[in-house]
Amino acid sequence: MTAQTAFFVTGTDTEIGKSLVSSAMLHALAAQGLRAAGMKPIAAGAVLQDGVWHNEDVDQLAAASSVKLPTSLACPYLLREPAAPHIVAEQEGVAISLAHIRSCYTQVSAQADAVIVEGVGGFRVPLSDYVDTADLAQQLALPVILVVGMRLGCLNHALLTADAIAARGLLLTGWVANTVDPSMRHADDNIDALRARLPAPLLGCIPRLPQASAAAAADHLDFSLLPAWPGATARAFV
């Protein structure tokens, strides 16, 4: 048995809110009584706690998941230094294998009704001399959720990312506007510009939250706009 619902979450940059949106999705899925599992196949930046290496993003996904996974499946490549994955992997003697990640995803999918896979950095972050996160997304062949960090420059970043997703033959199925710069000028106009240009529905706008929790973020998002969301009514997006 494999998961009936699965999405790949990417962003316009690093530190843009991918983990917040991914955990919000997991929270909403678990609230429906589904076995929801979160994966972040590559994470760069870990701290040692009680003899165990932890990554904040991986822990956030685990906390929102209703399926508890061993770290070896939830994050097959947990790198120590918070830097570009291909650089850190080489320093740590790690060879990132897309086939291994695919195998881990298959194992996770067999245990869950829904799987959320969070990418690392933006959509074209190098993982080695030969592959990047776009290759990973292509290997998994999942519908893509794009998290747009709302700040100056987001229009170009979002539209280029959407083009890159389409170029890999992947479906951009929804996008989220996440407030990164609360003082951004003309934020609503920027959101309107993206709504007119991105070929997918806006799932919602997350303001600057006093406490950035999965539940708080989920309150600002409407996942029923996703055609593949459990219980959603099929609808055309124009």
* Active-site hit among 8, 12, 28, 40: 40
Write the burial class of residue 9 (CB in 10 Å: 0-12 exposed, 13-18 middle, 19+ buried): buried
What domains are defined for the chain?
5-225 (3.40.50.300)
Q: Where are the beta strands (DSSP E) in 12-105?
A: 36-39, 42-44, 47-49, 52-54, 77-79
User: Whole-angstrom Cα distance, residue 175 to residue 172?
Assistant: 8
Residue 54 identity (one-letter amino acid): H
Q: What's the predicted TM-score (pTM) here?
A: 0.95
Q: Is 68 labeled as catalytic in the residue annotation? A: no
Alpha-carbon torsion (227, 215, 58, 194), positive or negative? positive
Phi-psi region of 94 (alpha: psi -120 to 50; beta: other; left: phi over 0): beta
User: Whole-angstrom Cα distance, residue 179 to residue 208?
Assistant: 6
Helices (H), 186-232: 187-197, 214-218
Please report, in tens digits, the pLDDT of each residue of the chain (238 residues total): 577 999 999 999 999 999 999 999 999 999 999 999 999 999 999 998 988 889 999 999 999 999 999 999 999 999 999 999 999 999 999 999 999 999 999 999 999 999 999 999 999 999 999 999 999 999 999 999 999 999 999 999 999 999 999 999 999 999 999 999 999 999 999 999 999 999 999 999 999 998 889 999 999 999 999 988 998 765 555 4
